[in-house]
Amino acid sequence: KAGVTQTPRYLIKTRGQQVTLSCSPISGHRSVSWYQQTPGQGLQFLFEYFSETQRNKGNFPGRFSGRQFSNSRSEMNVSTLELGDSALYLCASSNTGYDGYTFGSGTRLTVV
Amino acid sequence: QQQVKQSPQSLIVQKGGISIINCAYENTAFDYFPWYQQFPGKGPALLIAIRPDVSEKKEGRFTISFNKSAKQFSLHIMDSQPGDSATYFCAANNQGGKLIFGQGTELSVKP
Residues B8 and A24: their CA atoms lie apart, in Å, by: 34
Chain A residues interacting with chain B (CB cutoff of 8 angstroms): 4, 31-33, 35, 42-45, 48, 50, 55-56, 58, 90, 92, 94, 97-106
- Residue range B57-93, pLDDT digits in tens: 999 999 999 999 999 999 999 999 999 999 999 999 9
Of A104, A80, A100, A56, the closest CA to residue B46 belongs to A100
Q: Which of residues 50-89 of B touch A (CB under 8 A)?
A: 89
Q: What is the DSSP letter of B19?
A: E
Chain A nearest CA to B95, separation (Å): 7
**For the segment B23-58, what is each residue's pLDDT rounded down to a tens digit?**
999 999 999 999 999 999 999 999 999 999 999 999
Does the bond joining B34 to the residue before it have cis omega, within 30 degrees of 0?
no
Q: In what order do the strands lie in the sheet containing B56-59? A: B4-7, B19-25, B72-77, B62-67, B56-59
pLDDT band at residue B1 under the 50/70/90 scheme: low
- Mean model confidence pLDDT for chain A: 95
Give the number of residues written for chain B: 111
Q: CA-to-CA distance for B106 and B89, rounded, in angstroms?
A: 9
d(CA B71, CA B92): 11
Q: What is the DSSP letter of A22?
A: E
B13 closest CA partner among B77, B104, B64, B89: B77
Let me know: does A31 contact A97? Beta carbons within 8 Å: yes
Cβ-based contacts under 8 A for chains A and B: 70
Which is more confident, B17 or A100?
B17
Nearest CA in chain B to A90: B43
Q: What whole-number distance in Å separates Cα of residue A99 and Cα of residue B53?
A: 16
The pLDDT of residue A59 is above 80? yes
Q: How confident is the model at residue B94 (pLDDT cuts 50, 70, 90)?
A: confident
